[in-house]
Each structure stands twice: as C-alpha cells, then as structure tokens.
C-alpha cells in the first residue's frame, strides 16, 4: 500500500518568514494530494489540494508543488502569521483509493 513520509515533524519560524513542509509517497499510482490543517483541539480541515496532472497550485499565501518523478510534494506558506500555528498533515490517495496521511508537522509561528 501507500506510504507517506512527512518532514520535519516540528518547525518553528518567525512571523513573516516562510515555512516549507515536505512529503514523499511510495505508490506511483497516487493521483491526489491534499493538505489538512489541525489547530489545537480542533478537527483537521482541508486547506489546499493538488492532483497529479498539475505541478503547482496557489491559494493566497499557501502553495503546493508536486514532483511526480521524484514522488514528493511540498506545502509552502509565505508571510507566516501566528494563526498559521497548527499541525499540518499531507496525504496521498493511492491506487487502492485510500487516503494515506503523513505523521504531521507541528508548525509554530513566533510573533
């Protein structure tokens, strides 16, 4: 089955700096890659997703890039703000049509 690895597990940045979270996947048939944000004590929520026929997608301060050849995808957050502090999960939809999540990155934005 699919195996998703996510790095780093924790990340601290100064407010206004950029943050990058990287994920790799194993199943070459994977074709859908969402990112979820989970604030402390709250439920995960989708923040952005990308499909395998697209290399990059942006939504305001958030962008995701996908390299199918290398089987990795990344989340980029620019001009970070304290409200960006949360745990971020990447995920990949494998050939068996399951959504597999990474182990999460705890992002702390220091004011």
Partner 1 sequence: KAGVTQTPRYLIKTRGQQVTLSCSPISGHRSVSWYQQTPGQGLQFLFEYFSETQRNKGNFPGRFSGRQFSNSRSEMNVSTLELGDSALYLCASSASGGGTGELFFGEGSRLTVL
Nearer to partner 1, 32 or 78 (CB): 32
Nearer to partner 1, 85 or 105 (CB): 105
84: helix, strand or coil: helix
Closest CA to 79 of 95, 65, 107, 60: 60
Looking at 19, 104, 107, 109, which residue binds partner 1 (CB under 8 A)? 104
DSSP letter string over 24-77?
EE--TT--EEEEEEE-TTS--EEEEEEETT-SEEEETTEEEEEETTTTEEEEEE
Instruction: Give the tokens for residue 36.
Output: 């979820």
Rg (CA), the chain: 13
Site for partner 1 in 2-21 (CB under 8 A): 6, 9
73 binds partner 1 per the rule CB under 8 A: no
> What binding mask, one character per residue, do residues 49-68 give for partner 1 by CB under 8 A, x or -?
x-------------------
Site for partner 1 in 84-103 (CB under 8 A): 89, 91, 93-94, 96-103
Nearer to partner 1, 54 or 96 (CB): 96
Smallest distance, partner 1 to C-beta of residue 105, A: 10
């Amino acid at each position: 089955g699919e195996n998703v690895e996510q790095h780093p597990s924790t990340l601290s940045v100064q407010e206004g700096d950029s943050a990058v979270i990287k994920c790799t996947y194993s199943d070459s048939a994977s074709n859908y890659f969402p990112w979820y944000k989970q604030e402390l004590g709250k439920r995960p929520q989708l923040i952005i997703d990308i499909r395998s026929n697209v290399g990059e997608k942006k939504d305001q301060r958030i962008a995701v890039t996908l390299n199918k050849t290398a089987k990795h995808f990344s989340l980029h957050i620019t001009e970070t703000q304290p409200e960006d502090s949360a745990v971020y999960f990447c995920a990949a939809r494998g050939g068996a049509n399951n959504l597999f999540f990474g182990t999460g990155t705890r992002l702390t934005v220091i004011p």
